[in-house]
Amino acid sequence: MPLKFFNSFGMTLDLTHVVEDIVRFMQTDTKRHYKVIIGTDSLGLSSGHADFVTAIVVHRVGNGGRYFWRRAEFGKFHTLRDRILKEVVTSLEAAHALLTELKDVEGVLWDFEIHADIGEKGATNALIQEVVGMIRANNFEAKTKPYSYAASKVADRHT
C-alpha cells in the first residue's frame, strides 16, 4: 500500500511526490545546509486505539522549511511504553521508505534525524535509552525533547 501524505496546504501526495517536493525545495538553494527529519506522535483514543501522525520535516537551516504528514490509527495499546515504541517503529518504517527514494539526491548537503516524542521530564523518561537505542541501531541520529520538534510540535499539531 503506498504511503499517502498531506502537505501543509492539505494536498494529498504519495511518497514519490513528497520526495520530488523535497528535492525541488533543496535544489532552490544548494549552498544551504538541510535537515530531513521524521517524527511521530500519537494520541490515545477513548476506544483504547491510538491516532498516530508521522511528520516529514525539511529544514533549511537558518531559513525555514517544509513539512508533510500522514495519519494512521492502530489497535489497542495497553501501556504508554507500547504506544511510544509503536511511534518509533512507525518513524523508522517511514524513514526507510523515504531514504530509499532520497538516496540519489546529489549536490545538496543534508543530514537525517528521527525525532522521538519523549523527554527527561514526565512519564517517558524511563524509555529514553531504549528508544534512542532503537533509532541508533538503525543508523539514524536520534533527538528527544526539547529538540524533537518534528514529533513534539509538527506531528503533535495534527493529532
- Dihedrals φ, ψ of 94, to 5°? -65, -40
d(CA 91, CA 37): 10
Report the distance separating Cα 90 and Cα 52, nearest Å: 9
Helix or strand holding residue 51 (H, E): strand 50-60
Phi/psi at 121 (nearest 5 deg)? -100, 135
CATH code for the part of the protein at 4-157? 3.30.420
pLDDT of residue 33: 96
Domain boundaries, the chain: 4-157
pLDDT number for residue 55? 98
Per-residue confidence of the chain (159 residues) as pLDDT tens digits?
467 999 989 999 999 999 999 999 999 999 999 999 999 999 988 787 899 999 999 999 999 999 999 999 888 888 899 999 999 999 999 999 999 989 888 889 999 999 999 999 989 999 999 999 999 999 999 999 999 999 999 999 998
pTM here? 0.94
End-to-end CA, the chain: 22
Return the pLDDT at 87.
Answer: 96
Distance between CA 159 and CA 157 in Å, rounded? 6
56 DSSP β-pair partners: 38, 68
Q: What is the pLDDT of residue 61?
A: 96
